[in-house]
Amino acid sequence: MAEFQPVLLARVGKPDSHLLETYRRDGGYEGFKKALGMAPAEVVATVKDSGLRGRGGAGFPTGLKWTFLPKDHPGPIYLAINADESEPATFNNRILMEEDPHQVLEGIAISCYAIKSKAAYIYLRYEYGRSYRVLQKAIDECYAAGIFGKNIFGSGFDLDVVLHRGAAAYICGEETGLIESLEGKRAWPRIKPPFPAIEGLFRKPTIVNNIETMACVKNILDLGGDWFKSLGVPPDPSNPRDAGSYGPKLYCISGHVNKPGCVELPMGITARQLIDEHGGGVWKGRKAKAVVPGGISMGFLSASELDTPLDFNGPGKVGCLGLGTAAITVIDDETSMVDVLFNCARFFAHESCGQCTPCREGTAWMHKILTRIRMGEGQMRDLDLLTEVAASMGIIPGTTICGLSDGAAWPIKNAIKKFRPEFEEYISTGRKTVKPAESLMAAH
Amino acid sequence: MAVLSEELRDQIRAQFPKYPNKRAVVLPALHLVQDAQRHVSIEAVREIAELLELHPSEVHDTMSFYQFFKDEKHQLGKHRVWVCRSISCMLRGGEELLQHMCERLHVHPGQTSADGKITMEFAECLGACEGAPCVLVDDEAHMNITPEKADELLKNL
């Protein structure tokens, strides 16, 4: 097979790749011009036919989401861009925003035209200071060049793009938490329905899309839906509800590898290929004990599951919650899974927004139980207790408003199922791998 | 006496045209005030509320949700240094780095050095995992930080 040439990352690393001048020299904003010559419904159809599924984690078909907007709505309709990339180990959106902001902005412009929105809000996590400065400069360049503003390219289409900074809260990545936060409130997710497409930002119809999804939209307009569909994995014939895993995907590789980074590949590559062919192998000549397939919310792949294809179906078949953000974290065979799971539990105890009791209390208890196991004071029954608490929280058991809770429960369920002997050995020997400072054990 | 200067008020008012209502300016306003004053006092909350035509409790409700914003009892130092403690950094020494930097400044996470220069904090994933362990100085990420590089960073602030 010929080596795949990156498209989303094609301009990354080139000199001044973040400037409008170089972007236009590389054919930038031609796709937007092309879209302006089409009817909005045609643009929606193009994206729908390409098979693009959202890159933020849930994998919902993008074009289909757009069609959920009310027909002939008088407006305003909003596009809210989720740039609150906070899932641990995920950084692909940051690279797109810092290195090729205009690619993202062009995708936003095309999407706004398609859904008849005159205003896009980019909700950017606070920690991405460099992304903020680069994106804001790119937006200013677009206004100055008449790419944003009134009557763009004489088409009669108006568009305003606003960059809005968050305040370091993971829950703002949940689409309705993001909307509440943008409205100036605490980021408590909303009960659905109504879904944002019907009643979203400022109580108006709203589409929430991810940054990488926007970059895909831009390239679908340039290269065609057929190009997008020629990459990746077609639907699984045994699963009638599968919409396929088409297109290129940005995979992040971090943790115990020689060469951490972000690579673009057609969907469906395996964790083993990512580690060996793109991550430089496991560091220090060690072996992988476990791999997080797409952010810690998704659970763990064990060493025997590394040939799982990382498409929208693969991780689910081996008990993970899903593909998530396709950001793999490699854990070597000298690392204790107790330490890893403690780290996951502490994260969710810190980030639960506190709105739903099963999540607020559940994440706190899972953190407490893992603290005592890690400190060498665990009991064997704690493992079943952890599993029981994990099973009681989330959208899947129907006890919470949003999916943060499912994401908090999943690594617990997965780790205890797949690595139970290691936890049992840890508890039965009363051993402590580490004696961390008190301040590192607390969630808050 | 008002705690928000006229300049700061103008900066907040300049945000109004971006949004269909003033409430959406709560976060931008809190950022502006905290950047300038290193905390958001209860009086500042009252004045923000007045500008945005909200009740002070509405502004305070939002502010208190985001642990990012600090009140007068928890004033920030001149710089805020965050060390990532989430999975990718933890696997490559992030927790030890946090401990090292805290010991260097004789503080616990969340506290400010005696000279008022640096507030040390832990962070959940900073999204710079290819450069783990990483440190955020104010809002600029620094990657592949060793204890030696951390000392250098702190010294230069």
Judging by beta carbons within 10 Å of its beta carbon (0-12, 13-18, 19+), is residue A441 exposed, middle or buried? middle
Which pLDDT band, with edges at 50, 70 and 90, does A3 fall under?
Answer: confident
What's the mean pLDDT in A49-67? 96
pLDDT digits (tens, 9 = 90+) for A212-270: 999 999 999 999 999 999 999 999 898 888 999 999 999 999 999 999 999 999 999 99
User: Searching chain B, which residue's CA lies closest to the CA of residue A90?
Assistant: B127
Q: What is the pLDDT, as a whole number, of residue A436?
A: 59
In a mutational test of the A interface, the residue from B33, B57, B130 whose CB has the highest number of chain A CBs within 10 Å is B130
- The CATH code that applies to domain A245-332 is 3.10.20.600
Based on the fold, state whether residues B106 and B58 are members of the same structural domain. no
Q: Pick from A201, A224, A209: which is nearest to A111 by CA? A: A209
H or E stretch covering B79? strand B79-84
What's the mean pLDDT in A65-79? 96
| Residue A74 scores a pLDDT above 80 | yes
- Between CA B102 and CA B96 the distance in angstroms is 10
For the record, the structure tokens of A213 come out as: 């999804």
Residue B89 CA: distances (Å) to CA of A234, A311, B129: 35, 25, 7
Is A370 an interface residue toward B (CB < 8 Å)?
no
Based on the fold, state whether residues B63 and B104 are members of the same structural domain. no
Q: Pick from A426, A9, A441: which is nearest to A252 by CA? A: A9
> Given B31, B67, B125, which is nearest A86 (Cβ)?
B125
Domain endpoint, select from B72, B95, B121: B72
Give me the percent of chain A exceeding a pLDDT of 90. Answer: 93
Whole-angstrom Cα Rg for chain B: 18
Based on the fold, state whether residues B59 and B86 are members of the same structural domain. no
Judging by beta carbons within 10 Å of its beta carbon (0-12, 13-18, 19+), is residue A133 exposed, middle or buried? middle
pLDDT digits (tens, 9 = 90+) for A76-116: 999 999 999 999 999 999 999 999 999 999 999 999 999 99
Q: What's the number of CA atoms in the CB half-sphere (13 Å) around residue B24?
A: 21
Name the 3-class secondary structure at B119: strand
Based on the fold, state whether residues B111 and B55 are members of the same structural domain. no
| Residue A1 scores a pLDDT above 60 | no
Q: What is the pLDDT, as a whole number, of residue B107?
A: 96
Q: Does A132 contact B139 at a Cβ distance shorter than 8 Å?
A: yes
| Residue B17 scores a pLDDT above 90 | yes
* In-domain check, residue B1: no
Helix/strand/coil (H, E, C) string of A13-55? CCCCCCCHHHHHHCCCCHHHHHHHCCCHHHHHHHHHHHCCECC
Instruction: Give the count of domains, chain B.
Output: 2
Q: Above 0.90 for ipTM, yes or no?
A: yes
- Between CA A115 and CA A41 the distance in angstroms is 8
Q: Are strands A119-124 and A327-332 parallel, antiparallel or unpaired?
A: unpaired
* In-domain check, residue B127: yes
Can you give the CATH number for the domain in which B126 is found? 3.40.30.10
- Between CA A103 and CA A87 the distance in angstroms is 23
Based on the fold, state whether residues B48 and B119 are members of the same structural domain. no
Is A130 an interface residue toward B (CB < 8 Å)?
yes
pLDDT digits (tens, 9 = 90+) for A136-189: 999 999 999 999 999 999 999 999 999 999 999 999 999 999 999 999 999 999
User: Searching chain B, which residue's CA lies closest to the CA of residue A128?
Assistant: B139
Domain endpoint, select from B39, B72, B105: B72
Domain housing B122? 76-155
| Residue A435 scores a pLDDT above 60 | no
Based on the fold, state whether residues B67 and B118 are members of the same structural domain. no
Based on the fold, state whether residues B105 and B80 are members of the same structural domain. yes
In a mutational test of the A interface, the residue from B23, B90, B107, B137 whose CB has the highest number of chain A CBs within 10 Å is B90
Alpha carbon of residue A438 to chain centroid: 32
DSSP 8-state symbol, B23: G
Domain endpoint, select from B72, B96, B112: B72
In a mutational test of the B interface, the residue from A130, A134, A439 whose CB has the highest number of chain B CBs within 10 Å is A439
pLDDT digits (tens, 9 = 90+) for B78-97: 999 999 999 999 999 999 99
Q: Does B127 contact A90 at a Cβ distance shorter than 8 Å?
A: yes
Based on the fold, state whether residues B147 and B88 are members of the same structural domain. yes
From chain B, the residues in CB contact with A132 under 8 A are 139
pLDDT digits (tens, 9 = 90+) for A359-404: 999 999 999 999 999 988 999 999 999 999 999 999 999 999 999 9
| Residue A323 scores a pLDDT above 70 | yes
Based on the fold, state whether residues B51 and B87 are members of the same structural domain. no
Q: Pick from A90, A123, A98: which is nearest to A9 by CA? A: A98
What are the start-end ranges of the H helices in chain B? 6-13, 26-37, 42-52, 56-65, 87-90, 94-105, 147-155
User: What is the torsion angle, in degrees rounded to the nearest 10, for the CA atoms of residue B25, residue B27, residue B29 and residue B35?
Assistant: -160
Q: What is the pLDDT, as a whole number, of residue A240?
A: 86
Helix/strand/coil (H, E, C) string of chain A? CCCCCCCCCCCCCCCCCCCHHHHHHCCCCHHHHHHHCCCHHHHHHHHHHHCCECCCCCCCEHHHHHHCCCCCCCCCCEEEEEECCCCCCCCHHHHHHHHCHHHHHHHHHHHHHHHCCCEEEEEECCCCHHHHHHHHHHHHHHHHCCCCECCHHHCCCCEEEEEEECCCCHHHHCHHHHHHHHCCCCCCCCCCCCCCCCCCHHHCCEEEEEHHHHHHHHHHHHHCHHHHHCCEECCCCCCCCCCCEECEEEEEEEECECCCEEEEEECCCEHHHHHHHHCCCEHHHCCEEEEECCCHHHCCEEHHHCCCECCCCHHHHCCCCCCCCCEEEEEECCCCHHHHHHHHHHHHHHHCCCCCHHHHHHHHHHHHHHHHHHCCCCCCHHHHHHHHHHHCCCCCCCCCCCCHHHHHHHHHHHHHHHCHHHHHHHHHCCCCCCCCCHHHHCCC
pLDDT digits (tens, 9 = 90+) for B115-124: 999 999 999 9
- The CATH code that applies to domain A20-230 is 3.40.50.11540
- Between CA A118 and CA A63 the distance in angstroms is 18
- Between CA A435 and CA A106 the distance in angstroms is 50
Domain boundaries, chain A: 20-230, 245-332, 337-441
Instruction: Please identify among residues 51-80 of chain A the ones whose CB lies closer than 8 Å to any CB of chain B.
Output: 76
Based on the fold, state whether residues B63 and B92 are members of the same structural domain. no
| Top CATH class, A337-441 | mainly alpha
Based on the fold, state whether residues B55 and B116 are members of the same structural domain. no
Which pLDDT band, with edges at 50, 70 and 90, does A432 fall under?
Answer: low
Give me the percent of chain B exceeding a pLDDT of 90. Answer: 99
Q: In what order do the strands lie in the sheet with A160-165?
A: A160-165, A119-124, A78-83, A206-210
Which pLDDT band, with edges at 50, 70 and 90, does B1 fall under?
Answer: confident
Judging by beta carbons within 10 Å of its beta carbon (0-12, 13-18, 19+), is residue A156 exposed, middle or buried? exposed
Q: What is the pLDDT, as a whole number, of residue A172?
A: 97
Q: What is the pLDDT, as a whole number, of residue A440?
A: 74
Q: What is the pLDDT, as a whole number, of residue A99?
A: 98
Identify residue A237 by its one-letter amino acid code.
P
> Given A85, A132, A440, which is nearest B127 (Cβ)?
A85
Is the CB of residue B127 less than 8 Å from the CB of residue A90? yes
What's the mean pLDDT in A23-49? 97
- Between CA B81 and CA A382 the distance in angstroms is 36
Write down the pTM of the prediction: 0.97
What's the mean pLDDT in B122-149? 97
Can you give the CATH number for the domain in which B50 is found? 1.10.10.1590
Based on the fold, state whether residues B53 and B114 are members of the same structural domain. no
User: Searching chain B, which residue's CA lies closest to the CA of residue A84?
Assistant: B127
